[in-house]
Structure formats: C-alpha cells, structure tokens
Amino acid sequence: MNLLKYHRFLMVLLLLVNSRTFSQSEVLYSGEELYYEVNYSFINIGWAKFNTIAIAGKPGLFTTTAKLKSNNSLPFINVDYDFISIIELKGGILKPHKFTAYEYKDDKRSELVCDFNYDSNFITVKKSGFDKNIEMDKKISTSTVFQDGLSIFYYARLNARKDKTEYVPVLMHTDTALMKINYVSKNTDVEISDVDYDISSVFLDGFLYFKAVFGLTGNFSGWFSNDAASIPLKAKLEVEIGNISLELKSWKRSGWTPPKY
C-alpha cells in the first residue's frame, strides 16, 4: 500500500471511529444505578440517585426512579424528593406514561401524579399537599409528547451524539414548559474525580425556561459517556444561589466502565 492509499485508508478509519452510532435501546438498561454528588463551589449540598428497571412482560417499558436529597448538615437547603416515571421507548420515541413526585418535609409528604393519556390527547395532573388536601386536579389537552421531570434525564441520554438544537416540551410541576438543548456529537474529554483517566464524552448545553429542584433554572451544560450507555458524567447547572455541579461518583451497570479518551 503506497503512502497516498495508506493516508486515505487512515482518514476513512478515523471518520468511522469518530462517527460511530449506538442503538438507543442500549441506553435503557435494567438494573442500572447511578449516584451523583451535588456541589456548590467546594461545598457538597446533596446527592441524586437514579435507578432503571425493565417492566416484566412489557417490552420497551421501564420504571425509572430518582432520589434527590440535600445535605442534612446545611440549614439553608431543604430538598427531599422521590420521583417515579413509567417510560416507554418505541420507534425511537420516548414517552412517559405516568409520573409521580413525592416531597418530604417535617415527617409529612406531598404527592404529585401526572397521567399521560395519549389515546385521548390529555394529561391529568393531581397534586395533594402535606396535609393530604387536594391542591390541584386538572386536565391539560395536548397532542404533543411531553417529557416529565425524570424522563428528560433519559431523553437527553437517548439523543446525545446528535448535532442538532431542539426545544423539548416538558411537564414541570403542574404546568407545561420548554427546555432548549444543543447537542454536539464531537468526541471530547472530561474528568471526574473517581476515575484516574480522561473519559471519552460528548457535550450538550441548553436553557431551562422553568424552575426545578434545587432552584434549577436557566443555563445548563453536561457531558455524556461516548458509548452505548450514554451515561451522564458531569453537569454544570444554574440555580438561584449561583451555579452548582453534578458529578458521577458511583455506578452499577454490568460490564460498564467509563470509556477512555
């Protein structure tokens, strides 16, 4: 092989390696558990844990859960939530079927339940307060697929490595909203404290047109593993008190290790 042919072969090989695609179905992995620390500057203000379990006998359906908890030693932050989202991946489209959020305070619990009725083109939203009183019970008419406060975590993972910008409809709290996501498929490196090498990743950023847990709103950015799992590795988020970061600290996913850059 002469030098010119070798150079062409090498260029094609590099293009293939750097533009490889992965099946979306590999993102949703039954038994996965991801644990993150939430930090404000050098102060740990809390943690978040995400779990994914396949629903037996129902291909493409998963129960996803998230626990978000603030650091008990910090008196100025009080966050204690459980999220549950039943999601379905079919034909490349992620649809939440039911979202439940529990907030805990002073040994009491509030509840928010959102049912997505796609056949009837409406979403039911019911919220009960800490004293079990019904604070909201309404229907939202829509023919659009909305992501919920937890399914958006998986939606972003499923769409990473795509060069595009999109506005994603989100059901946040008890009303509809939007978030803007800019995906960048270019391979880049990122560091996390619990891994002793640079990790191969892809990047996204965007803007939240709503307020979420920890006062999250406005600009955000994140790095996802550049592999079939597309696991969020690190994120920088804008909140009311300034900026916070999330970083992957531990994981349970059979056979997965962060890919080297």
pLDDT, tens digit, 9 for 90 and up, residues 23-77: 566 899 999 999 999 999 889 999 999 999 999 999 999 999 999 999 999 888 8
Helix (H, G, I), strand (E, B) or coil at 100: strand
Q: Indicate whether 19 pLDDT > 70.
A: no
The predicted pLDDT at position 173 comes to 81
Say how far apart CA 210 and CA 179 lie, in whole Å.
8
Residues with Cβ within 8 Å of 214's Cβ and at least 6 positions away in sequence, in order, are 38, 45, 46, 68, 70, 77, 79, 237, 239, 244
The predicted pLDDT at position 210 comes to 85
The predicted pLDDT at position 118 comes to 92
pLDDT tens, residue by residue, 223-241: 999 999 999 999 999 887 7
Say how far apart CA 90 and CA 228 lie, in whole Å.
17
Beta bridge pairs of residue 137: 126
The predicted pLDDT at position 162 comes to 87
Instruction: Find the angle CA(29)-CA(148)-CA(153) to the nearest 5 degrees.
Output: 40
Q: Can you read off the two tokens belonging to residue 151? A: 């399914």
Per-residue pLDDT, averaged over 139-157, amounts to 95
Per-residue pLDDT, averaged over 177-191, amounts to 94
The predicted pLDDT at position 21 comes to 52
C-beta of residue 100 within 8 angstroms of C-beta of residue 84: yes
Say how far apart CA 155 and CA 236 lie, in whole Å.
18
The predicted pLDDT at position 217 comes to 81
The predicted pLDDT at position 141 comes to 93
C-beta of residue 210 within 8 angstroms of C-beta of residue 217: yes
The predicted pLDDT at position 18 comes to 46
Q: Indicate whether 13 pLDDT > 70.
A: no
pLDDT tens, residue by residue, 78-137: 899 999 999 999 998 999 999 999 999 999 999 999 999 999 999 999 999 999 999 999
Per 3-state DSSP, what percentage of the chain is helix, strand, and coil (rounded to 5)?
Answer: 10, 55, 35
pLDDT band at 2 (very low <50, low <70, confident <90, very high): low
Q: Indicate whether 17 pLDDT > 50.
A: no
Between 10 and 180, the more confident residue is 180
Q: Can you read off the two tokens belonging to residue 254? A: 């059979």
Please give the model's pTM, rounded to 2 decimal places.
0.88
pLDDT tens, residue by residue, 157-173: 999 988 999 999 999 88
The predicted pLDDT at position 211 comes to 81
Identify the CA nearest to 203 among candidates 247, 159, 256. 159
